Amino acid sequence: MEIEEVSSCEALPLLSLNHVSLLCRSVWDSVRFYENVLGFVLIKRPSSFNFNGAWLYSYGIGIHLIENPSLEDFDKIMEPRPINPKDNHMSFQCTDVGLVKRRLQQMGMRYVTALVQEDGVKVDQVFFHDPDGYMIEVCNCGDIPILPISSCSFKPRTATFKTAAATKCGFMENVLMESLSMDILNISF
C-alpha cells in the first residue's frame, strides 16, 4: 500500500459549505423546528425528486431534509438521548447566548451549556437536539481568533493551546487571516 503525503496533493476547489443533509422521521416536524427555532426559511425543492423531503435556507447554508420511514422505530425510544457536546453536531454563531438560552427555556427545550476559555476570551456554547436527535450548537465562537497552525509554535499531542505561544505571522498567514475575516463578516451580515 502506497501512502501519498498530504502536502503533495492539491486541495479540491471548494467555495463554501452548501448544505447539510439530514434524515428525519417527519419532514414537517423538522421543518417547523428549523423554521421556528433556528430561523431557516423553506425554499423550493426540485420537483424531480421522488421521495418526501424539504429544503431550508438561511445564514448562507442550506439544510436538506429527507424523510426516511424506517426511522419510525425511534418513536419507541423511552428516554431522550443525552445531550453530549462531544457528539457530532452542527454549530451556529449567534449574537447573544443569554437570549438563546431564554428562548429555548420559553420553548421548553432541554439544553446543556459549556464554556471554552482561551487567553482571557470566554466562549459560551449551548447544545440541544432537533426532533430527530441531531445535535445543534449555538455559540459566540467568533470571539476566539482563528489562527493558522503555521502561525503558532505547535507541538502535536503534547502542548496545549495555553502553552503554545503564538509567533509573528508571515505574509501568507496575514493574507489568509484577512480573507477569512472578510468571509466571516460577509456571512454574518
C-alpha grid cell for residue 125? 456554547
Burial of 172 per CB tally in 10 Å (0-12, 13-18, 19+): exposed
Q: Name the residue with cell 500500500.
A: 1
Q: Is 137 a catalytic residue?
A: yes
Smallest CA-to-CA distance from 25 within 63, 84, 73 is with 73
Residue 91 C-beta-side C-alpha neighbours within 13 Å: 14
Identify the active-site residue in 67, 72, 118, 137: 137
Residues 22-32: tens digit of each pLDDT: 999 999 999 99
pLDDT digits (tens, 9 = 90+) for 47-97: 999 999 999 999 999 999 999 877 655 554 445 678 988 899 999 999 999
Burial status of residue 100 (CB atoms within 10 A of its CB: 0-12, 13-18, 19 or more): buried
